[in-house]
Structure 1
């Protein structure tokens, strides 16, 4: 199993993730890690419809995802992981799985948040979690689309706060 990207995007699988990211990364599997989606059949159907036909889709709770990742269940796949928010990433870390790098691509719908990039707006709780996870060894970047330059999100947070 090769994890080709880990992305936080509150929209999960949508046109940009499905058409642009998955194809650029040559992903053969998208793993959506979201406790709510893992239990909601309607949301699962919507995610399946958004996923490219030639790409496999797994929709997993955080706990099940950690188990699958630790077991290296997707040996022959180029895996693109998408999750909704920083709290999910924190839960995954607490369960014992640390991703080396996470791309925050789209987080904007929060009150009392600070605009860090065009599509990244974080509140104090999210910033605190990101700093805590960064201290655990996770590198945070921000990149909306593959053609855009990848930037160090911690540097941006430190500049603006």
Structure 2
């Protein structure tokens, strides 16, 4: 079983907060970006690689590749798994990726969404995905940075 130390929803994927604060807090030595678009975008990959400290590995995989490959991870790999949306994590969990707890960081406000936390805005699809994750046994907590107290997302909906 893969050693996933943190699973995080963050629309920005890997940036300073994830690359420095969360990697260090979780003790991760490998970041897996689960995103179909970024898996094929060398420019975005290069920008994300620059954020990480030396010695921290990073992989850019499609959702399907994560499902097919993460089970082969070595125990010594402490994985921070990041994707853009709760729907991505529904796909991963339904595909067999063993996630018990989901950290929800940044889901930006857009038309049709309502803000439920200073860094989290949701629409009906997001809510449906969060409820699906809950029914799959995944705890979903909003926490922007490691020093902030985690809040169960369902108390905010």
Aligned residues: 156
Gaps of 5+ in 2: none
The whole-number CA distance in structure 2 between the counterparts of 1:23 and 1:35 is 26
**8 Å contact from structure 1 (residues 110, 123) kept in 2:** no
1:16 counterpart SS class: helix
Are 1:22 and 2:23 matched, yes or no?
A: yes
**8 Å contact from structure 2 (residues 33, 81) kept in 1:** yes
2:60 counterpart SS class: strand
Are 1:85 and 2:85 matched, yes or no?
A: yes
Gaps of 5+ in 1: none
The whole-number CA distance in structure 2 between the counterparts of 1:31 and 1:24 is 16
TM-score (normalised: structure 2): 0.92
What do the CA deviations read for 1:17-40 (whole angstroms, capped 9, x no partner)? 111111122211111111111111
**8 Å contact from structure 1 (residues 111, 123) kept in 2:** no
**RMSD across aligned positions (CA):** 1.4
**8 Å contact from structure 1 (residues 11, 84) kept in 2:** yes
2:156 counterpart SS class: helix
